């Protein structure tokens, strides 16, 4: 299991000659990294994940700038192999790290949250399911989709009344009256 520290699931790329960290990025969570390889000629970092279901290793490439090259392949793999909780925590982390959320970032977070809900693992954990709807509501509210925000906040409260959005819900309902 990954640690809760700030550097958990983090890859750092160092220039050993200059003794400096060139960049540091979190790698996507989900099935755990088996190992890393460096392909200097192609200027790529290859992260290998162990697919427990099929007993094989699946590789994903990153550029030397830390960008995931195999994004579609990763999205498909994550959809199949990650639990709702792993996906939720990745979405929640991205949401919390975002100061002023862009439409692109919001779309990615919404996609992750919807995927977590589709997995269905939350049925016995109402607090996490409610937190998922709370974040969806907060994103909708950020983009002034107030009817949608109200719907998500109400769903969150119906699932777990102590999710922390009752005042937000009341304020939005008053605003729309």
pLDDT digits (tens, 9 = 90+) for 31-46: 567 788 999 899 998 9
CATH tag for 83-177 (out of 2.60.40.3500, 2.20.28.270, 3.40.50.620, 1.25.40.10): 1.25.40.10
Compute the distance between CA of residue 172 and CA of residue 83 in angstroms, rounded to an integer. Answer: 33
pLDDT digits (tens, 9 = 90+) for 96-128: 988 889 999 999 999 999 999 998 888 889 999
Query: Domain spans of the chain?
Result: 83-177
pLDDT at 167 over 50: yes
Compute the distance between CA of residue 161 and CA of residue 141 in angstroms, rounded to an integer. Answer: 19
Q: What is the pTM of this model?
A: 0.74
Compute the distance between CA of residue 64 and CA of residue 33 in angstroms, rounded to an integer. Answer: 18
- Dihedral angle sign, alpha carbons of residues 155, 152, 72, 14: negative
Compute the distance between CA of residue 68 and CA of residue 96 in angstroms, rounded to an integer. Answer: 21
Compute the distance between CA of residue 141 and CA of residue 124 in angstroms, rounded to an integer. Answer: 28
Residues 60-85 have a mean pLDDT of 86
């Amino acid at each position: 299991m990954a640690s809760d520290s700030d550097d958990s699931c983090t890859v750092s790329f160092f220039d050993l000659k200059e003794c400096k960290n060139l960049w540091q990025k979190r790698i996507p969570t989900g099935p755990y990294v088996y190992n890393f390889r460096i392909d200097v000629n192609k200027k790529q970092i290859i992260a290998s994940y162990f697919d427990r279901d099929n007993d094989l290793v699946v590789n994903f490439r990153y550029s030397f700038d830390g960008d995931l090259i195999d994004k579609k392949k990763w999205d498909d793999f994550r959809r199949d192999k990650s639990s709702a909780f792993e996906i939720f925590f990745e979405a929640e982390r991205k949401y919390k790290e975002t100061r002023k959320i862009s439409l692109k970032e919001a779309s990615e977070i919404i996609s992750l949250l919807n995927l977590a809900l589709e997995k269905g693992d939350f049925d016995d954990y109402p607090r996490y399911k409610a937190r998922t709807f709370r974040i969806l509501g907060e994103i909708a509210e950020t983009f002034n989709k107030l009817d949608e925000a109200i719907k998500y906040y109400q769903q969150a409260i119906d699932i777990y009344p102590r999710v922390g959005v009752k005042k937000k819900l009341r304020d939005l309902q008053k605003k729309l009256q």
